[in-house]
């Protein structure tokens, strides 16, 4: 297999005006190697041999699919449009798709939100019957009756498509997957072409099942451990003590009055409150490049790794913290229907500290956790408790303040339990958070 030196275009760096995607579809990447990624001439039998011989060497599923389609075209198959769709285990996503169009020669890698499955456009798509009933659907877009059954066919007919086939790909997974293939060849696919393409895509289904297993593993680890920690575990860092020392901005936060609220609310209401509260904080952390490591009761632990840019990490952490305070205040003001009245007003305390931590595995022989530990984490936790004492929702330590190009208000130096030295803390100027809703954070003490 030749080394591929081309890079996929990231979302936002290419023109999508000629392709139409629904609002719940997000394009992740576009692969554009074109026919050069396949031999000039081949046969479908040779394509099958290539798939069995070299297919497992591909780490990038999109590139494997892209080359397979171009090999099919090089064999003489009149493919004008082809797609693969795989389901996944993810709290927000329904699945992933790879869409090939001959007119631009590209494969778009897309992700589909869960809301897609409830839309009329999906239930009237041939893929709905593939996913929900395991059926193979063959349609002639030019046929008015087929266009009436499946509105997508009218659009394909305008493009000149003469034959459209949607069929299951694989059968052993609990997560639905399927594919489509279409042609503009007069009269559609011949019986021989249909049979040959069916055989090669049935073989390709084995690679789809493998990809699904890998994708689900990555999604689960990302969801429960975070992107960086999940990647570490997936790469083999599973032994106790496995990890590395990193410098990071440490985030420790806490929901004020959680114990009292819990006594006045049902378990379901407490869960609703925490989901909205954590959604405001964790969303801001991840939006600014941070890594959410742990939800501990009503507390949140996160890090912003320094890498080679300590001022940048400090600035992103502060921006995330200020956005969180604003978001929590907006929850108070908007009072969403799923936020129990007994939860109001929501108040938070956030501490930011800079230090070196161990990022890795700890736990028992049979149960592990991937987290950060170290003196800096303990110090950040103690600073978080000071937010109640000084009446500010957000405090940063001197090492962070020195990195920021922002005017800060000195809040004093405080001793910490078990630590001989004092810690100097600062806070953004009053009113720096923008909208804070109903809560007067200056009265939190």
- pLDDT the model gives residue 162: 96
Q: How many C-beta atoms lie closer than 10 Å to residue 431's C-beta?
A: 7
| Residue 341: both structure tokens together | 């009245």
Residues 242 and 369 in one domain: yes
Query: For residue 55, what are the domain limits?
Result: 9-224
Mean pLDDT of 379-401: 90
| Segment holding 146, helix H or strand E | helix 144-149
Domain membership flag for residue 295: yes
Mean pLDDT of 401-414: 89
- pLDDT the model gives residue 67: 92
Contact 165/156 with Cβ under 8 angstroms? no
**Residue 341 exposed, middle or buried by CB count within 10 Å (0-12, 13-18, 19+):** exposed
8 or 312: which leads in pLDDT: 312
| Interatomic CA distance for residues 45 and 67, integer angstroms | 15
263 or 121: which leads in pLDDT: 263
- pLDDT the model gives residue 16: 58
| ω into 345 cis (within 30 of 0) | yes
User: Is the pLDDT confidence value at 267 over 50?
Assistant: yes
pLDDT digits (tens, 9 = 90+) for 163-193: 999 998 865 445 467 889 999 999 999 999 9
| Residue 10: both structure tokens together | 């990231």
Domain membership flag for residue 323: yes
User: How many angstroms separate the Cα of 303 from the Cα of each of 43, 236, 314, 361?
Assistant: 52, 21, 10, 16
Last residue of a domain, one of 162, 197, 224: 224
176 or 238: which leads in pLDDT: 176
Contact 206/51 with Cβ under 8 angstroms? no
Contacts of 315 (CB under 8 A, 6+ apart): 403, 404, 405
10 or 168: which leads in pLDDT: 168
Contact 161/167 with Cβ under 8 angstroms? no
- pLDDT the model gives residue 2: 41
Sign of CA dihedral 214, 219, 220, 226: positive
The vertex-394 CA angle with 393 and 397, nearest 5°, equals 145
| Interatomic CA distance for residues 367 and 421, integer angstroms | 36
Mean pLDDT of 232-241: 45
Domain membership flag for residue 2: no
Residues 273 and 206 in one domain: no
User: Is the pLDDT confidence value at 235 over 60?
Assistant: no
User: In which band, very low, low, confident or very high, does the pLDDT at 316 lie, cut at 50, 70 and 90?
Assistant: very high
- pLDDT the model gives residue 254: 92
User: How many angstroms separate the Cα of 254 from the Cα of each of 85, 318, 331, 417?
Assistant: 41, 16, 16, 19
What CATH number has the domain bearing residue 284? 3.30.70.1230
Residues 283 and 418 in one domain: yes
Last residue of a domain, one of 224, 245, 273: 224
Contact 394/284 with Cβ under 8 angstroms? no
- Residue ranges of alpha helices (H) inside 164-266 are 191-225, 227-234, 258-264
β pairing state of 348-363 and 394-397: parallel
- pLDDT the model gives residue 442: 38
Domain membership flag for residue 3: no
pLDDT digits (tens, 9 = 90+) for 59-103: 788 888 899 999 999 999 999 999 988 765 334 446 788 999 999
User: In which band, very low, low, confident or very high, does the pLDDT at 8 lie, cut at 50, 70 and 90?
Assistant: low
Q: What's the predicted TM-score (pTM) here?
A: 0.53
Residues 210 and 321 in one domain: no
Residues 44 and 134 in one domain: yes
Residues 236 and 285 in one domain: yes
pLDDT digits (tens, 9 = 90+) for 357-371: 776 665 555 445 556
Domain membership flag for residue 147: yes
Phi, psi (degrees; rounded to nearest 5) at 189: -70, 140
User: In which band, very low, low, confident or very high, does the pLDDT at 115 lie, cut at 50, 70 and 90?
Assistant: low
User: In which band, very low, low, confident or very high, does the pLDDT at 161 lie, cut at 50, 70 and 90?
Assistant: very high
Strand partners, 9: 30
- Residue ranges of alpha helices (H) inside 60-115 are 61-74
Residues of the chain with pLDDT > 70, as a percent, come to 76
Residues 190 and 266 in one domain: no
3-state secondary structure of 291: strand
Last residue of a domain, one of 207, 224, 241: 224
- pLDDT the model gives residue 359: 67
Residues 171 and 256 in one domain: no
Mean pLDDT, all residues of the chain: 79
Residues 433 and 310 in one domain: yes
Mean pLDDT of 394-403: 93
Mean pLDDT of 159-166: 95
227-234 vs 191-225: helix crossing angle, rounded to 10:
110
Residues 187 and 244 in one domain: no
- pLDDT the model gives residue 51: 85
Strand partners, 419: 416
Domain membership flag for residue 1: no
User: Is the pLDDT confidence value at 318 over 50?
Assistant: yes
Residues 38 and 184 in one domain: yes
- Look-up of token digits 């939800």: 295
Domain membership flag for residue 316: yes
| Residue 24: both structure tokens together | 């719940």
Mean pLDDT of 103-123: 79
Mean pLDDT of 279-303: 89
What CATH number has the domain bearing residue 140? 3.30.450.40
- Considering 36-45, 290-299, 331-340, the range whose residues carry the highest mean pLDDT is 36-45
| Neighbouring C-alpha atoms within 13 Å toward the C-beta of 142 | 12
Q: How many C-beta atoms lie closer than 10 Å to residue 416's C-beta?
A: 16
The separation between the first and the last C-alpha atoms of the chain, rounded to the nearest angstrom, is 66
| Interatomic CA distance for residues 177 and 132, integer angstroms | 10
Domain count across the chain = 2
Domain membership flag for residue 66: yes
| Residue 113: both structure tokens together | 């939100």
- Look-up of token digits 């393409």: 197
- pLDDT the model gives residue 344: 84
Nearest CA among 275, 271, 276, 252 for reference residue 377: 252
Residues 192 and 149 in one domain: yes
Contact 73/44 with Cβ under 8 angstroms? no
User: In which band, very low, low, confident or very high, does the pLDDT at 209 lie, cut at 50, 70 and 90?
Assistant: low
């Amino acid at each position: 297999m030749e080394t591929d030196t081309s890079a996929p275009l990231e979302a936002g760096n290419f023109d999508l005006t000629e392709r139409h995607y629904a609002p719940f579809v997000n394009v992740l990447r576009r692969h554009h190697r074109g026919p050069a990624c396949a031999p000039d001439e081949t046969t479908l039998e040779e394509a099958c041999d290539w798939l069995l011989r070299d297919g497992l060497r591909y780490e990038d599923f999109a590139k494997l699919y892209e080359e397979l389609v171009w090999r099919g075209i090089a064999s003489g198959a009149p493919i004008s449009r082809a797609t693969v769709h795989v389901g996944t285990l993810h709290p927000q996503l329904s699945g992933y798709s790879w869409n090939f169009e001959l007119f631009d020669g590209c494969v778009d890698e897309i992700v589909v939100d869960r809301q897609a499955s409830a839309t009329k456009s999906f239930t009237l798509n041939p893929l709905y019957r593939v996913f929900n009933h395991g059926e193979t659907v063959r349609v002639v877009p030019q046929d008015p009756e087929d266009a009436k059954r499946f509105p997508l066919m009218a659009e394909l007919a305008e493009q000149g498509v003469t034959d459209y086939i949607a069929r299951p790909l694989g059968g052993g997974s609990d997560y639905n997957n399927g594919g489509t293939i279409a042609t503009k060849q007069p009269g559609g696919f011949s019986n021989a072409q249909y049979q040959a393409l069916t055989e090669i895509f049935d073989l390709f289904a084995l690679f789809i099942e493998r990809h699904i297993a890998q994708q689900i593993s990555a999604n689960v680890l990302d969801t429960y451990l975070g992107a960086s920690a999940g990647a570490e575990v997936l790469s083999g860092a599973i032994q106790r003590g496995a990890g590395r020392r990193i410098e990071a901005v440490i985030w420790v936060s806490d929901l004020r009055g959680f114990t009292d609220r819990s006594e006045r609310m049902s378990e379901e209401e407490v869960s609703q409150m925490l989901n909205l509260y954590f959604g405001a904080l964790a969303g801001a952390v991840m939006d600014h490049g941070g890594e959410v490591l742990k939800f501990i009761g009503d507390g949140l632990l996160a890090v912003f790794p320094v890498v080679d840019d300590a001022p940048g990490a400090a600035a992103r952490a502060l921006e995330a913290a200020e956005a969180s305070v604003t978001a929590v205040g907006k929850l108070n003001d908007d009072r969403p229907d799923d936020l129990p009245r007994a939860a109001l007003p929501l108040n938070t305390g956030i501490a930011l500290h800079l230090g070196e931590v161990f990022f890795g595995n700890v736990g028992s022989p049979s149960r592990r956790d991937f987290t950060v530990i170290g003196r800096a984490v303990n110090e950040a936790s103690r600073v978080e408790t000071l937010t109640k004492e000084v009446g500010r929702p957000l405090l940063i330590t001197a090492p962070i303040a020195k990195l920021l190009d922002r005017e800060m208000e000195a809040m004093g130096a405080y001793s910490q339990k078990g630590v001989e030295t004092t810690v100097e803390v600062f806070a953004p100027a009053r009113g720096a958070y923008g909208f804070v809703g109903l809560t007067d954070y200056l009265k939190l003490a």
